[in-house]
Structure 1
């Protein structure tokens, strides 16, 4: 009986170390307390006088929902044609209507215009 208890203890310790190794090497996709969308944003860049942010598209996301999220100051004043134009300029091979889940795209960031 004592040998079985020692064996089970060694197995549990091994599983603990394997779990820790996997967590540290692979990481986790969700961080508690942080909005998952914010954790998917990669970087902000400037292309052809358009400031952009790379964002990973998640289930249910559309061009306009992401544009609204990263440009909350414009939620009442969105120019859909300009957003689509700028998205096409930033992502020439992407179809703004058919965004692929899990892919990163550059989305335009707009400054608030002077009142």
Structure 2
């Protein structure tokens, strides 16, 4: 009896993990995807979503500091820091500075509450502001 119960528990955990990794448990109401896993749907490459983003680099005056930014539509699995790294040629910046600049460019949004399918302004750093 014990081996059967153990096998059932392992099967439930495996099915749960498979479902979570492939379909997910977070609702994607704003996402153009229907929540089903599709081959290639988890692409975080900024270059592949150029039709959904503003290709011009703009600047915004935040306080006394002028920030350059680029608007990007967030895809599944993307984070603020990951998008900023891709936009800035994988250079490493202080995460707290990236968060502060993102929240300054998007005053009504917290960096950890970005929504898939929505467009946000992400900071563009020149090579002399690398920290």
Do they fold alike, i.e. is TM over 0.5? yes
1:89 pairs with 2:104: yes
Unaligned runs of 5+ in 1: 1-34
Alignment coverage as a number of residue pairs: 79
The higher radius of gyration belongs to 1
The root-mean-square deviation of aligned C-alpha atoms, in Å, is 1.9
* Structure 2 equivalent of residue 66 of structure 1: 83
Instruction: Return the TM-score normalized by structure 1.
Output: 0.62
* Structure 2 equivalent of residue 55 of structure 1: 72
Unaligned runs of 5+ in 2: 1-46
Is the helix fraction higher in 1 or 2? 1
* Structure 2 equivalent of residue 37 of structure 1: 49
Cα distance per residue 1:47-86 (max 9 Å; x no partner) = 0100000000000010011001100152xx3111111110
Shift of 1:98: 1.5
**Structure 1 runs of 4+ with >3 Å offset:** none
8 Å CA contact 1:83, 1:108 repeated in 2: yes
